[in-house]
Amino acid sequence: MTEEDTKDKGSQVNRSVVEDICKPFIVGDEVYRQIRDVFLNEIKKGLCKYTHESASVKCLLTFVEKLPNGCERGKFLALDVGGTNFRILLLNLDGGENLKIETASYELTESLMTGPGRDLFDFLAECLSTFIHKHDLQKEELNLGFTFAFPLKQTELNKGVLVTWTKAFSCSGVVNHDVVDLFKEAINRRDDIHINNIVILNDTTGTLISCAWDYRETKIALIIGTGTNTCYLEKTKYIELFNGGVNASPTMIINCESGNFGSDGSLDFVRTPIDLILDNNSVNAGQQIYEKMISGMYLGEIVRLILLECINAGAMLNGVHSEEISTPMSLDIKHMSEIEAGEPGNDSATRQIFEIMGYKRPSDEDCEHLRYICNVVSTRSANMAAATLATLVNRVGDPFVVIGVDGTVYRMYPNYPERLRKKLKELARPEYQFCLKVTEDGSGRGAALLAATVFSKKRSP
Ligand code: BGC
């Protein structure tokens, strides 16, 4: 055998080791169909009064029974909290198609996201005060939609008790408290602004409302960004925890909190050993299992763990561990995006990422393998997102439904929307057509639109 032949043989062996390590992440359609069907069971458990308490997919009531009809008028504020940036919006509606928005974005430091809740709410109130003064709104009657992108137990539109923190938040003194109350208290401590009414909602709910403003057929929304979640319009007769009486609307938005799908073991048939390691090392082990398999906060970590296995098996990077690769959460979804955005055969982005990860001279083969790993992990994410959306498309059962989508993974990750759409087409019943619409800024815009729907001034006769 020549030296060249030996090298080729070595490459083939390495490739098959990498493929073997990735194999548990590549599953057939029967598995995605199973995820779709299991998710339907979980939804039913969440909606049923006897199983709701123990259900992992909580199907939380939102009390949003009416979507905007386009006749809303006035100025409405929104506060959108859920990630490292939080935003304030001012929406001006003229009762017709015109909608004007002013926005401001503020950064939340890590200490605000993990320190005492009081500091967080004081900061939100301070930014709101600055915004109101800047736009000279002190004398207006202000109604505000408050998007809080975490699981909320609601008993009314203006009450939302935080069930648990998710993503990178862990402020003390907020879980089991009504966040509207905490926010009002912070406003009162300042004593320089006044808000008439506040309604509270999840970011998926906001996305659905916002998309419905543009497309009346919207009945489902998906967020796939740092975290993930879905919501949809359910018939109130199936929402056993809701007792709306004779005046109840026929439908209400249900916040599935699908990120927690699988925390009762129902996704164990598709979880890989690496998914188990990631969960064990996380701050909220046992929770948000589906979110940990598909959302932006975790995909980079899955890739890092796969990479480590490939290195340990001697199939990549000459078996050498860098300090960076050994550091949890050091690989970001942004890195994966850059790797997959590069043209096949052009490794410059991948080499840069390797450099960030502490490897100066990766081989062409290492680059090819890393790209392959990213593709396997992001494809599983898109396919799993499609599986639960298929459940909702089938559940809504309209001949045509619009799905509002927001979140950086969907908006920024190369080819993610195409992969998701393709799998959804395969998994939803063929008689139900759908269309996915990006609803950028949906969560904030939706919050202001909800405030508008509830508090809009009536048209003068
Ligand atoms: C939260 C959801 C939220 C989703 C997207 C999840 O971690 O539990 O409430 O909708 O992230 O932001």
pLDDT band at 275 (very low <50, low <70, confident <90, very high): very high
Ligand 1 centre to CA of 141 (Å) is 31
Question: Is the predicted pLDDT of residue 233 greater than 50, yes or no?
Answer: yes
**Tens-digit pLDDT profile for residues 383-419:** 999 999 999 999 999 999 999 999 999 999 999 999 9
Please give the angle made by the CA atoms of 427, 429 and 431, to the nearest 5 degrees. 145
pLDDT band at 450 (very low <50, low <70, confident <90, very high): very high
- Specify the ligand 1 atom closest to the Cα of 227: 11
Q: What is the pLDDT of residue 2?
A: 67
What distances in angstroms separate CA 202 from CA 198, 213, 306, 439, one per listed residue? 14, 17, 33, 15
Question: Is the predicted pLDDT of residue 461 greater than 50, yes or no?
Answer: no
Overall average pLDDT of the 278-302 stretch: 97
Ligand 1 centre to CA of 406 (Å) is 12
Ligand 1 centre to CA of 314 (Å) is 38
Mean model confidence pLDDT for the chain: 94
Q: What is the pLDDT of residue 98?
A: 80
Q: Does 237 participate in catalysis according to the annotation?
A: no
Q: Catalogue all structural domains in the chain, each as residue range(s) with its CATH number.
A: 10-58+213-439 (3.40.367.20), 62-200 (3.30.420.40)
Q: Does 275 participate in catalysis according to the annotation?
A: no
- Specify the ligand 1 atom closest to the Cα of 260: 8
Q: What is the pLDDT of residue 379?
A: 98
Please report, as a single letter, which amino acid is at residue 120. Answer: L
If you take atom 2 of ligand 1, which residue's CA is the nearest one? 150
Q: What is the pLDDT of residue 460?
A: 47
Overall average pLDDT of the 288-306 stretch: 98
Catalytic residue among 75, 167, 219, 292: 167
Share of the chain above pLDDT 90, in %: 88
- Specify the ligand 1 atom closest to the Cα of 152: 9
Q: What is the pLDDT of residue 10?
A: 75
**Tens-digit pLDDT profile for residues 48-96:** 999 999 999 999 999 999 998 888 899 999 999 998 889 999 999 988 7
Pocket probe for ligand 1: among 86, 150, 152, 208, the residue whose CB has the most ligand atoms within 8 Å is 150
Overall average pLDDT of the 155-177 stretch: 96
Give the predicted TM-score (pTM) of the model.
0.95
Q: What is the pLDDT of residue 46?
A: 98
**Tens-digit pLDDT profile for residues 1-49:** 666 666 677 788 899 999 999 999 999 999 999 999 999 999 999 999 9
Q: Give the residue from 169, 162, 151, 149 showing the smallest Cα distance to 108.
A: 169
Q: What is the pLDDT of residue 6?
A: 65
Pocket probe for ligand 1: among 202, 294, 439, the residue whose CB has the most ligand atoms within 8 Å is 202
Question: Is the predicted pLDDT of residue 110 greater than 80, yes or no?
Answer: yes
Q: What is the pLDDT of residue 5?
A: 65
Question: Is the predicted pLDDT of residue 371 greater than 90, yes or no?
Answer: yes
